[in-house]
Structure 1
Amino acid sequence: MRIQNRIPKTDDRIHLNLVENEWFPMNEPKSLGVAIALSFPLMILNALITIGVINTFSTISLNEFGLTSDSISITINFVVIIWIFLLIIVHELFHLAFIPNFIRSQKTFIGLTLFGGYVLTEEEVSKSRYILVTMAPFVIISILLPIILSLLGALTTTFKFLILINSMASSVDILNLILLLTQVPKKAVLLNNGTKTYWKYVQNEKYNETKTN
């Protein structure tokens, strides 16, 4: 694992080599800005899912966040900023934790940029594991965590706020999941060349187990 505050760039020579070896590039947004724009409807959907989960096991209302029909009162103090910063780190660590052998990998990167945190691996990863890596922060933080905190009686307004922030921030992850499910066949492995994702069909069913253990 390598820590660096610069996202690895796509290498044109590696791209040509991958294509020559029957790796197929996925059709993906050309930039982060485009990805965020395309994922905006998913941001709303994610928030509604999380609100539904919270409302099932606890309560949630606009009044808790200073939003009423008469006025809007939002207070963001230094403590909340620290919580959001920690949330970014935890979100990326959940991505990282499900990448096979990430500690020993020299092709797995994690870091912070001006646009937030990122995790990227240029190792070969099975489709099922790639889905797990993509979905982990949303499922754990924005679906399972509010259920656990509700049962413990510890789901405070601050936690609800952070859980919703994570839910909406996971919209790009959900967009990536949709692209993956619609373009990559079941028996396939994936890897990244910088920010560009490639997949390759694998006939050997035992390949995924060998690569992820």
Structure 2
Amino acid sequence: MKLIMKLPKSNPKLHLNLIEDNWIPMKEPKNVASAILLSIPLMIIAAIISIFVLNIVSSISLSEFGIKTNGFAFTIYFSDILWLVLLLVMHELIHLIFIPNFIKSERTYAGLTVFGGFVFTEEEISKSRYIIITIAPFVIISLILPLVLSVFGLLTTTLKFLIILNALGSSVDLLNLILVIKQVPKNAVLKSNGPYTYWRNR
């Protein structure tokens, strides 16, 4: 695994090689900005699902987050910024640990950009594993974690906010999930070339 400070770019030569080897390019957003715009409806849906789960195990209201009928007021502490950084790291780390042999892989990368953290691999990944990698942070942090924290009485307002924020931030992951489910056959494998994803049958 390698640490890098910018998103990998596509390699035109690799693109031609993949096409010659019968890899099929997926139809997907060509940049991060367009992916975020397209995922806005999923952002809303993911947040609603997360709030529903939180509401099952704990009371939750707008006033709890400083939002009231006559306006809103909240204070940001330095510790809150640390929590946000920790959330970002946890989200990407969960992606990473589900990539097969990520520690030894020379084609797996992790990094940070103005759009947030990212994990990227050029290894061949089965469709089923790709789906797990994509959906894992949303399921673990925004669906399972609230249940676990509530059992131990640790579900604070700050953690509720971070859990919902993770759901919002998982919208691009959910968009990728839908694109893969719709376009890629069951027994196919996937491979990335910068921002572009390809698939072919085994």
**TM-score, normalised via structure 2 length:** 0.98
Q: Distance between the aligned counterparts of 2:182 and 2:3, measured in 1? A: 31
Unaligned runs of 5+ in 1: 203-213
Q: Please tell me whether residue 35 in structure 1 is matched to residue 43 in structure 2.
A: no
Match of 1:45, SS state, is: helix
1:74 Cα deviation from its structure 2 partner: 2.4
Deviations 1:22-76 (A, max 9, x none): 0001011111111100000100100000000010111111011000111111222
Larger mean Cα displacement after TM superposition, 30-39 or 75-84: 75-84
Rounded to whole Å, the distance in 2 between the matches of 1:18 and 1:37 is: 29
Aligned to 2:181: 181
- Other-structure match for 2:114: 114
Distance in 2 between the 1:177 and 1:74 partners? 35
Query: Residue 158 of structure 2 aligns with which residue?
Result: 158
Structure-2 residue corresponding to 1:71: 71
User: In the alignment, which residue of structure 2 is the partner of 1:8?
Assistant: 8
Which residue does 2:167 correspond to in 1?
Answer: 167
| Partner of residue 58, structure 2 | 58
Q: Secondary structure at the match of 1:118?
A: strand
Matched, 1:25 2:25: yes
8 Å CA contact retained: 2:122, 2:191: yes
1:90 aligns with 90
CA offsets 1:5-36 (integer angstroms, 9 cap, x no match): 11111000000000010000101111111110
Distance 2:75 2:180 in 1: 39
What SS does structure 2 have at the residue aligned with 1:179?
Answer: helix
Q: Tell me the matched-pair count.
A: 202
Kindly provide the CA deviation profile for residues 79-131 of structure 1, in whole angstroms up to 9, marking residues without a partner as x: 11111011111100000000000000000000111211000000001000000
Question: Please, what is the CA RMSD of the aligned residues?
Answer: 0.7
How far apart, CA to CA, are the structure 1 residues paired with 2:56 and 2:178? 26
Question: What is the letter of the counterpart of residue 164 of structure 1?
Answer: I
Tell me if structure 1 keeps the 8 A contact 2:135–2:173: yes
Identify unmatched segments of 5+ residues in structure 2: none
- What secondary structure sits across from 2:85 in the alignment? helix
Equivalent residue number for residue 196 of structure 2: 196
